Structure 1
Amino acid sequence: MDRIAKKGWRPAAVLLLLLCIWEVAVNILDIPGWLLPAPTVIASEASQGFQELLPHLQSTAMLAVGGFIIGCSVGILTAVILHLLPGVQESVYPLLILSQNVPTIVLAPLLVIWFGFGLLPKLIVITLVCFFPVTVAAMDGFRNVPPDMRHYMLMAGASKIQMFTKLEWPYALSSVFSGLKISATYSVMGAVISEWLGAKNGVGVYMTLASSSFRTERVFVAIFIIMILSLLFFAMISAAEAALVKWRRRKVE
C-alpha cells in the first residue's frame, strides 16, 4: 500500500494532463456544450447540483453494496461446492461459462417480466455480474495449491475437509480477493444497469433523465460518479486484503 501511495502521483498527473488537454481542445475547437462539455463545466454542474445528486448517489451505493455482498457470497459458495464435488464441477462449470456469454442487458427485460419492478430483479442483475469472477478466482486458488504442501497434508493424515480448511482455503484467499476486487467494480456497473429497469432513484436514473434532456454535462457527472464509486469499492477491498492476507503483504514487502 505504501508503494502504491508513493507512486499515486503518476496516474494523478496523467489524469490532470488529460483534463487540461480536454479543456483546451473544447475551447479552441469551440465544441458545443451539449456535444462535449468542458471539465470545468462538468465540475461546476457537479458542485451546484450535488444536493439533487446525493439521493441518487446514496441509492446506487446501497444497491451496489447489497448486490455485491449477495453476488460474492453466491460466488464463493459455488466455488467451494464445485471444488469439493468434482462430479458436480464437471457437470455445472461449463454451464456457468455459457451463462456469461448472455449479455446482462438482454436478461434485464426478462427479469422485469418475471419479478416486476421491485428490488429483486435489480439484486439479481448485480448478482449475475458479480458472482462469476469470484467463482473463477476462488477455484483457481484452490487448484493452485503447491503439490508438495498437499502431499505433506496427505502424509499427515488430513481428511478432505481438513485439507480444504487448513490449506486450500487459506492459500486461495489471495485469489479470492482478486475476484472480489473485480466484482467490486462490476457491482457499480450492475447497479446502474439495474436502475434502468425502472427505479425511482439512482445514478442510472439521473443519467437517463440527463440524456433524454440533452444535459450532457450531467451525463458526464454521472459517469465520473460511477468511476469514483468503483475506485472506492476497489480500494476498500484492497485494504481488507492487506489486513487479512498478511503473509502475502510480508512477501511483497
Structure 2
Amino acid sequence: MNYLISKGWRPIAVLLLLFILWEIIVKLTKVPDWLLPAPTMIVNEIISGWTSFYPDLVSTAKIAVEGFLVGTTVGLVVAVLLHLVPWIRDSVYPLLILSQNVPIIVLAPLLVIWFGFGLLPKIIVITLTCFFPITVAALDGFKQVPYSHKHYMLMAGAGKSQLFWKLEWPYALPSIFSGLKISATYSVMGAVISEWLGAEKGIGVYMTLASSSFRTDKVFVAILSIMVLSLLFFAVIVAAEKYLVRWQNKGGSVE
C-alpha cells in the first residue's frame, strides 16, 4: 500500500501526459476519427456505450477466471508430477517446451473442428496459455530449497511426502506466485482469442464487430478493458501472495 502511495502516481502521471499529448496531436493534425480517435472520444464511447458493452466485459472476465483456474490446476499438477517423478520430467519436459512454440491462434481452428463452438475449446485455449508459466515457475521453485534444509529433514526421518509438503512446497510458493501473475494476465488474452473462435458475446466479439465497421473508438474501448482486466487479475494475485507468503514478506524462513 505504501508503495502504491509513494510510487503509484508516477505511471498514472505518465499515462495522463501521454493521453494529453495524444489529444493535442489528433486535434492539431485533424486525424480522421476512424483512423485514430481522440482520448475524449474514447471516453465518451465508454460512457455512452457502457450498457451494451457491460455484458461483453462480464462474459470475458468470467471465462478468463474459469480458464485461469483450470490452467492453474493443470500447471501445478504437471509441475508436481514432473518434480516427484524424474523419468517423467526427462521424457515430457522437452515436449512441453516444444508445445509453446506453436501459436495458440494456429491451434484455435483445430479446437473448433474437434470440440465445436461451445465452452470447452475456449477453456482449452486459456489453459494452454496459462499452464506453462506456472509449471516452469513451480519447477524452478522446487529447486530453490537449500540442501542443508533437505538434509536436516532427511536425517530427522522425514518421508518423501513430508519433505515435499513441509519444505519444498512452501519454498516454491514465491516462484509459483510469479508464474500465477504471468498467467493471470495471459488468461484475459487467451479469453479474447478464444472468443474469436466463435462466441455470442465477449470483448473479442465486441472488438471484431467494431473493427469490421471501422469503429476505432470501440476497438480502443476493448483494448483498454483488456488492460484493466489484466491489471485487476494481477492485483488479486499480488494480494493473495502477500497474504499466503507471509514468511517471505517478513524476511523469515519456512517453519
- The TM-score range, normalised by the shorter chain, is over 0.9
2:135 maps to 1:131: no
1:49-75 per-position Cα deviation (integer Å, ceiling 9, x unaligned): 000000000100000000000001000
Q: How does 1:1-253 map to 2 (within 5 A)?
A: 1-251=1-251
1: CA distance, partners of 2:5 / 2:68:
26
Residue 240 (structure 1) shift: 0.4
* Mean Cα deviation higher: 144-153 or 85-94: 144-153
SS at 1:251 equivalent? coil
2: CA distance, partners of 1:159 / 1:20:
62
AA at the equivalent of 1:244:
L
AA at the equivalent of 2:116:
G
SS at 1:33 equivalent? coil
1: CA distance, partners of 2:179 / 2:15:
26
1: CA distance, partners of 2:40 / 2:77:
46
AA at the equivalent of 2:203:
V
1:204-240 per-position Cα deviation (integer Å, ceiling 9, x unaligned): 0000000000000000000000000000000000000
1:185-204 per-position Cα deviation (integer Å, ceiling 9, x unaligned): 00000000000001000000
Residue 158 (structure 1) shift: 1.3
Residue 6 (structure 1) shift: 2.2
1: CA distance, partners of 2:70 / 2:4:
30
1:39-98 per-position Cα deviation (integer Å, ceiling 9, x unaligned): 000000011000000000010000000000000100000000000000100000000000
1:134-153 per-position Cα deviation (integer Å, ceiling 9, x unaligned): 00000000011111111211
AA at the equivalent of 2:103:
P
> Judging changes above 3 Å, is the alpha-carbon distance between structure 1 residues 176 and 5 closer, same or farther for their aligned structure 2 residues?
farther
Computed over aligned residues only, the root mean square deviation of the Cα atoms, in angstroms, reads 0.9
AA at the equivalent of 1:169:
W
2: CA distance, partners of 1:117 / 1:165:
40
Structure 1 length as normaliser, TM-score? 0.98
1: CA distance, partners of 2:93 / 2:107:
20
Q: Percent identity?
A: 68
AA at the equivalent of 2:193:
I
AA at the equivalent of 1:246:
R
Residue 251 (structure 1) shift: 2.3
SS at 1:209 equivalent? helix
Structure 2 length as normaliser, TM-score? 0.97
Residue 156 (structure 1) shift: 1.2
* Mean Cα deviation higher: 225-234 or 139-148: 139-148
1: CA distance, partners of 2:176 / 2:237:
11
AA at the equivalent of 1:121:
P
2: CA distance, partners of 1:146 / 1:35:
57
1: CA distance, partners of 2:80 / 2:47:
46
1:8-61 per-position Cα deviation (integer Å, ceiling 9, x unaligned): 001111111111111111111111110000000000001100000000001000
